[in-house]
Structure 1
Amino acid sequence: MSKIFTIAEGLQNLGALKTGGQGSVYKGMRMGPVYSAIKLIPTPIYVEDESDKNYRNFLNEVNKLQQVNTHSSPNVVKILSSGITDSGSFPYIEMEYIEGPELGELLLPPHQKVFTVKETLKVAEQLAAALAHCHQVDVKHGDVKSNNVKYNVQTANYVLLDFGLAIMSEEQRRTSIRHAGAIEFMAPEQHEGKMLLQTDIYSYGIILYELLAGQVPFPLEGGGDTARNTVMIGHLEKEIPDAMLLRKSNLENTFQADVLDKEMQVPHWLLELIGRCLQKNPLERYANGMELHQAVTVGILSAPQDFRLTENTLPNEDLQYAALYNETKEKNEKLEKELATLKPLALKAGIKYNKSTGGYYQENYIHASKTAFLGCVAACVLVIAFLVYNLATPRNNVVATLPTTPYKSPFEIANQQYKQGLLTAREDSIRIAKMQSAQQIKAAEKARKQNGKQKKKKKFFGIF
């Protein structure tokens, strides 16, 4: 095959893959051979110097694209190289070549006009992951449409392609948009040449709408300026048509009744997500791809699926069950809110939950602070120590002796003997009392130790 023109040294041109207002895509081959896809930007750059505004903008945007590939994503095409062509001085970016059909081709015969719910959810998750990957490094794609998403037959993943508008200046985007063929996917602000992170979110919503409904909200009928203006006005001013009504009409002549009912059960969260993506005001959409991807992930992982659907999204035999499910769900949510309010009050009142019995009980202990408890213990110890000390300490009981006289009358002798007997009896009584006290203390200590071993430690004042 003869070359149409030279791309760059070592990069062979194998012919055009497709052409459009933003440029043309050619199949290339590096020495090896390694196949790639080359995106040519239609505005030439004659001075490769940073003093040239177009060349400077091109380098800045290419640097951003290179950041996208710092960490590879299975849902974003890899950027291999970039530069200026040897012939014509056209800026180009070289991307990996993805083998497989475009998403738009999968909606044409012999394929079905709409995607199944399962496959739509797969596209929703993977395309949201692709936008999150780009928006993390502040790269706006600017041309998200079904023809720029490919199904990789080798990995079974959907891959976002073609970063042509991402490397254009604002004036180039305005000129390109006026002649582009993807006006059906463009956000309202894009018609003024603006490109925001929310612009990609809007185009993402159009793709999901197309997969569910079988067509975009505002189809382009004809290639003239009048037809393009009609589509543009639709995005700027008109309400988005009901996707479920279009889906039902496109499914009725294709599937049997049981399959039709199943394929009409589109999750409500997905319809709400698409509705938010397609808001006219960019501030009312998801702020970026990261927020969008999080919403998709939460929706897919939510279980059971939300049955808050309309009559158009549920078969008739399931409407009664859906109403019952919604009513039960509302009651559960109300009870959970009441429980969250009452739980702190129950804990404060000493009401606790017994896991073994599954019931609630209230503690009958007197609650005191730890400081008060320790003070009571210290006071008890001091009282016991004082009593023990008094019992164990001998008393100095001095009995006065009678003066010695050379003569003692029988009366004096009897009196002396009586006093001596009293003294002896008192000493015996004290000695016996001390022995009994010591034995009682010893017995009490022994009993305390035995009780400590046999019985479990009990709470005291509700603290320990």
Structure 2
Amino acid sequence: MREQLLGGRYRLVQQLGEGGMGQVWEARDESLCRPVAVKLISLLAGGGSRGDEARARFLREARTTARLQHPHIVTIHDLGESGPENGNAPFLVMELIRGEGLDTKLARGDVSLEEAARWGAQVCEALTEAHAAGVMHRDIKPSNVFITHTGEVKVLDFGIAKAADPYATATRLTQTGFIVGTPPYMAPEQARGYPEPSSDLYALGCLLFELITGRLPFQAPDSVGYLTAHLSQEPPAPSSVRSDIPGPWDSLVLRLLSKDPAERYKSAADASRALCQLDLAVPTKALTRQGNASPSSTTRSTSVGGLWLPGTVGLLTVVATTVMFGVPAGGLLATVCLIVLVFVRKLKPPQHHPTPEGSRIDSDKESRPTDGRSTLRTATAVTASATCFLTVPVWYAATEEALTAARITIGEGQVQMALCDSLVVMLAIGVLLVRDAVGRRLIAVGGIGLALLPGYSMFWTPWGMGVGRALLPLAAVAAALSALLAVLPSVSARRQRPL
């Protein structure tokens, strides 16, 4: 077919790809002297009245989709029918774009969370334009999403799946079994023959799941298996497939994959806003994987990456300084470390993962878990901070009382103060990083340690006098409460995670 002239105007130069509906060619518009892309729908080639009717209907549908004009939708310039040598197969003439399909990028496994969020939002922008014009895509999948050389999305084949169905009736699946769409990405209502705009969002959910995990939400040996899974099985949370997927991605993707269309985002515009919020929050490193298999090692980016190492070094330095030079020197160094961490935190804000505005579940019942976790984190930070301020002076005073009463030696007092200082610094670092799991673990460990210290102090603190009798138990309770609050968000998240 090379060098063949279609419609007396478009000369085929080289084949770019081939799919179930036909071939895509690079061609030259002889009238305007410009390169274009030509999609030849060989599926509708052939004679007979049924073939003529299918081609006429395809051209009617294609004229509707050709009216779509959007930066993230491939522009259709022209359409027509090829000659008898190609069975009068219809063809579309589109803008020729340079880049590669999203399926190619997926095969290489070099898609980052940032790219997934940005590209997903751009697909939603294209869907918003199409849905406003009354056009559904019906076949969102990686091969229909093209990434240009500038990194922008171009969505291909809007409405072409329906237009190219040679047996389509008005809205139902045909008796021949021809299904409009691709089973691994097909919404339950579309599989039943009743597609709606929200069906495109479900397919986008499948696409995003694949982008961030390297595999589809459902695994099946054939098309029937995929359709059965979409109709009857609940999808897993992306983080259950890859542990480094942030929680907000679970909320967003699982909402897109809701069986009931009413439980998904109300519109593609809402989904776009949610993805834009994720784009501002996610780490930029690529998720390393090979094909659809789970990797043996992953590149994990967290907001504590820049603070964990200096925090650990600072903690060890405080302990060593306290043991060697005494409590005042250790306390001073601990204060300096905290000030430095605060300034680092302000200069380099953490890339935490807040729940995007658009992904908030509408019902009060479903929105409580997110609000509850936020409240728990706030309570954890407040309680842990109070524990820090309460424990240090109480412990210092109790140690002084014990030394005065000759219950402990000076060396034993220094060791006890070093232990107290190290636990307080651990708790303070945890407060700074309370939004991250590592920060809450630090609070839990520091809180347990500070809660146990008063129990040990019963052997040497003069309980009949001074602050030891009154305030040490209070400090222990505050430390234990901060530790308990620190572990509750993790327990709550595990209970709420979909199976």
1:97 Cα deviation from its structure 2 partner = 1.9
Native 8 Å contact 2:78 2:94 kept in 1: yes
- SS state of the match for residue 131, structure 1? helix
Pair 1:2–1:125, CA change in 2 (3 A):
closer
Equivalence map 1:285-434=2 (5 Å): 285-297=264-276, 305-306=353-354, 316-320=437-441
Pair 1:280–1:138, CA change in 2 (3 A):
same
Native 8 Å contact 2:44 2:164 kept in 1: no
1:193 Cα deviation from its structure 2 partner = 3.8
Aligned to 2:256: 277
Amino acid at match of 2:41: L
Native 8 Å contact 1:28 1:35 kept in 2: yes
User: Using the alignment, how far apart are the partners of 1:2 and 1:301 within structure 2?
Assistant: 46
Aligned to 1:16: 15
- Residues 33-91 of structure 1, C-alpha deviation per residue, up to 9 Å, x if partnerless? 41313241512476999xx754553343223212212xxx2211111111222231222
1:284 Cα deviation from its structure 2 partner = 2.5
Q: 1:233 aligns with which of 228, 232, 237?
A: 228
User: Using the alignment, how far apart are the partners of 1:92 and 1:195 within structure 2?
Assistant: 25
User: Structure 2 stretches of 5 or more lacking a match?
Assistant: 282-350, 356-369, 375-434, 445-481, 487-499
Amino acid at match of 1:290: A
Native 8 Å contact 2:43 2:164 kept in 1: no
Native 8 Å contact 1:125 1:293 kept in 2: yes
Q: Percent identity?
A: 24
Pair 1:146–1:2, CA change in 2 (3 A):
closer
Pair 1:198–1:265, CA change in 2 (3 A):
closer
- SS state of the match for residue 82, structure 1? strand
Q: 1:75 aligns with which of 72, 90, 93?
A: 72
Amino acid at match of 1:126: Q
Which range is displaced more, 280-289 or 91-100? 280-289
Would you say 1:201 and 2:194 are equivalent positions? Answer: no
- SS state of the match for residue 21, structure 1? coil
Amino acid at match of 1:106: K
User: Structure 1 stretches of 5 or more lacking a match?
Assistant: 222-226, 249-263, 329-464
- SS state of the match for residue 102, structure 2? coil
Pair 1:77–1:208, CA change in 2 (3 A):
same
1:273 Cα deviation from its structure 2 partner = 2.1
1:144 Cα deviation from its structure 2 partner = 0.6
Aligned to 1:147: 143
User: Using the alignment, how far apart are the partners of 2:209 and 2:168 within structure 1?
Assistant: 28
Amino acid at match of 1:24: Q
- SS state of the match for residue 43, structure 2? coil
- Residues 227-266 of structure 1, C-alpha deviation per residue, up to 9 Å, x if partnerless? 2211111111111022112223xxxxxxxxxxxxxxx262
Native 8 Å contact 1:21 1:181 kept in 2: no
User: Using the alignment, how far apart are the partners of 2:257 and 2:130 within structure 1?
Assistant: 20
User: Using the alignment, how far apart are the partners of 1:27 and 1:167 within structure 2?
Assistant: 22
Indicate the structure with greater helix content: 2
User: Using the alignment, how far apart are the partners of 2:39 and 2:68 within structure 1?
Assistant: 17
Native 8 Å contact 2:246 2:353 kept in 1: no
Equivalence map 1:57-136=2 (5 Å): 57-69=57-69, 73-87=70-84, 88-109=87-108, 111-112=109-110, 115-136=111-132
Aligned to 2:152: 157
User: Using the alignment, how far apart are the partners of 2:166 and 2:199 within structure 1?
Assistant: 14
User: Aligned-residue CA RMSD in angstroms?
Assistant: 3.7
Equivalence map 1:222-261=2 (5 Å): 227-248=222-243
Native 8 Å contact 2:13 2:27 kept in 1: yes
Pair 1:205–1:285, CA change in 2 (3 A):
same
User: Using the alignment, how far apart are the partners of 1:191 and 1:170 within structure 2?
Assistant: 17
1:220 Cα deviation from its structure 2 partner = 4.8
- SS state of the match for residue 246, structure 2? coil
Equivalence map 1:208-223=2 (5 Å): 208-221=208-221
Would you say 1:191 and 2:191 are equivalent positions? Answer: yes
Amino acid at match of 1:77: V
User: Using the alignment, how far apart are the partners of 1:97 and 1:220 within structure 2?
Assistant: 35
- SS state of the match for residue 108, structure 1? helix
- Residues 283-318 of structure 1, C-alpha deviation per residue, up to 9 Å, x if partnerless? 3323432333244345556897427589xxx97414
TM norm structure 2: 0.51
User: Using the alignment, how far apart are the partners of 1:233 and 1:142 within structure 2?
Assistant: 18
Native 8 Å contact 1:145 1:207 kept in 2: yes
User: Using the alignment, how far apart are the partners of 1:322 and 1:184 within structure 2?
Assistant: 44
Pair 1:291–1:242, CA change in 2 (3 A):
closer
- SS state of the match for residue 217, structure 2? coil
- SS state of the match for residue 15, structure 2? strand
Amino acid at match of 2:118: K
Would you say 1:43 and 2:164 are equivalent positions? Answer: no
Aligned to 1:266: 246
Native 8 Å contact 2:202 2:256 kept in 1: yes
- SS state of the match for residue 68, structure 1? coil
User: Using the alignment, how far apart are the partners of 2:198 and 2:443 within structure 1?
Assistant: 34
Native 8 Å contact 1:184 1:231 kept in 2: yes
User: Using the alignment, how far apart are the partners of 2:135 and 2:20 within structure 1?
Assistant: 21
Native 8 Å contact 2:54 2:166 kept in 1: no
Amino acid at match of 2:119: V
User: Using the alignment, how far apart are the partners of 1:191 and 1:233 within structure 2?
Assistant: 9
Pair 1:171–1:321, CA change in 2 (3 A):
farther
User: Using the alignment, how far apart are the partners of 2:269 and 2:42 within structure 1?
Assistant: 29
Amino acid at match of 1:101: E
Pair 1:43–1:244, CA change in 2 (3 A):
same
Tell me how many residue pairs correspond in the alignment: 293
User: Using the alignment, how far apart are the partners of 2:439 and 2:83 within structure 1?
Assistant: 65
- SS state of the match for residue 209, structure 2? helix
- SS state of the match for residue 231, structure 2? helix
Native 8 Å contact 1:140 1:166 kept in 2: no
